Structure 1
């Protein structure tokens, strides 16, 4: 542990935050794949998708669900509201125990939902489905609000439309420098996460969420450990 803290203290907070938010972007891809393919066409993190599904469902298109996306939207808003209030005292762009605590809570919620899915089986019935959707979307709202407060450029962990727009628009302007690597990597990781999430459904929907839970808890732990290491570095030097 001292060796790990020493290595983390050598890295800037911005570098560590970028890596951790990219990891959560991958995790979000898994969660959304499980939600859409395994939980009756519901996105837990991508609220744009839910709004579009609701619009089509209201027109009676292809028997699309109304309850699931509606509950997901409400859960995401509640999670984002709670997350925003929790991290409000923290300076923007800075890690803290509160930031780590929220991400840790997200991981625990995902772990709890994964465990519940293993208990109820691979095909939860409608009455069991909606509480699961509510918990997943609330967790993603917590994550999104906290990631927004951490303010890693271009990496929100849940939204890629603005990222793609920036990637294309900046490329059209000669002489414009843009963070190509992080933008492309974020897109790739979200896609890879969706692929992994879809593949885990061949075994059980709880498996993908368990992977996301473990990854999110690791992010919370590493981020907090790095923050503590940077805080203690000047004292150690004295």
Structure 2
């Protein structure tokens, strides 16, 4: 990735998405059983543990983890083809994808509010909705090509933080990504403890709506040509 390319406000916007990822994965892991909807590495491991009967305490479900991977793949395939023929401004591309996420996240939040999340059909429906949303996000973020801000995984970010020689602004961006994910996860855990079970999803939906609006406004500014 080109470190010298002008990314405008995209790093800040993607940090917001990283916070949202922490909120959603806190909900999926703590409420839906040991399953992630954004971190596919963890799901592949969990599926392997569950398939061999070594899931341990907590009841890892290999159908649930495989569903998360499959739904994420569908979202990623959809997101990967988004806007390929139109070549929209990166800010508008992000806004369009986030609007799709708003729809999916709001639907998931509504289901978590009115239905019993412990019921298997409800749990699987929530996993599918959330994993599709996160797959779209991951594909679009790859298209945006902002270094060190994948918004869903931190392994390479943390590795680069300690293994590479880098400019101060690059180090700051990497640290900010880690802090954003931590903040989202902590916020999601706090909402689950002191608010309702659906609160992390409603918070995620609200954050996404603010992000979509901000992206559209910023992409329309005259200065937006520098980070197209």
Q: TM-score, normalised to structure 2's length?
A: 0.88
Q: How does 1:39-78 map to 2 (within 5 A)?
A: 39-61=32-54, 62=56, 63-78=59-74
User: What is the aligned partner in structure 1 of residue 96 from structure 2?
Assistant: 101
1:71-86 → structure 2 map (5 Å cutoff): 71-86=67-82
Is the CA contact (8 Å cut-off) linking 1:25 and 1:189 kept in structure 2? yes
Match of 1:118 in 2: 113
Q: Deviations over 1:184-224 (max 9, x none)?
A: 01101101110111111123221101111111121111111
- How many residues are paired up? 217
User: Gaps (5+ residues) in structure 2?
Assistant: none
8 Å Cα contact 1:113-1:209 kept in structure 2: yes
Q: Is the 8 A contact 1:87 1:99 kept in 2?
A: no
Give structure 1 stretches of 5+ with no counterpart. 1-11, 234-238
What is the match of residue 177 of structure 1?
Answer: 167
Summarize the Cα distance change of 1:207–1:32 in structure 2 as closer, same or farther, 3 Å threshold. Answer: same
Q: CA RMSD in A?
A: 2.2
Q: 1:201 corresponds to which residue?
A: 192
CA distance in 2 between counterparts of 1:232 and 1:161 reads 31
Verify the 8 A CA contact 1:104 1:217 in the aligned structure 2: yes
Runs of 4+ in 1 over 4 A off after TM superposition: none
Aligned in 2, Cα 1:193/1:96: closer, same or farther, shift over 3 Å?
A: closer
Given candidates 157, 164, 167, the residue that maps to 1:163 is: 157
User: SS of the counterpart of 1:14?
Assistant: coil
Q: Distance in 2 between matches of 1:59 and 1:51?
A: 13
Q: Distance in 2 between matches of 1:188 and 1:96?
A: 23
Which has more helix, going by share of residues? 1
Per the alignment, residue 147 of structure 2 pairs with: 153
State the shift of 1:99 in Å. Answer: 3.1
Which piece of structure 1 moves more, 82-91 or 124-133? 82-91
Give CA-to-partner distance per residue, 1:106-157, whole Å, 9 cap, x none: 0221111101111114x43011110110010000000111111111111011
Larger Rg: 1
Could you tell me how far apart the structure 1 residues matched to 2:14 and 2:70 are?
A: 24
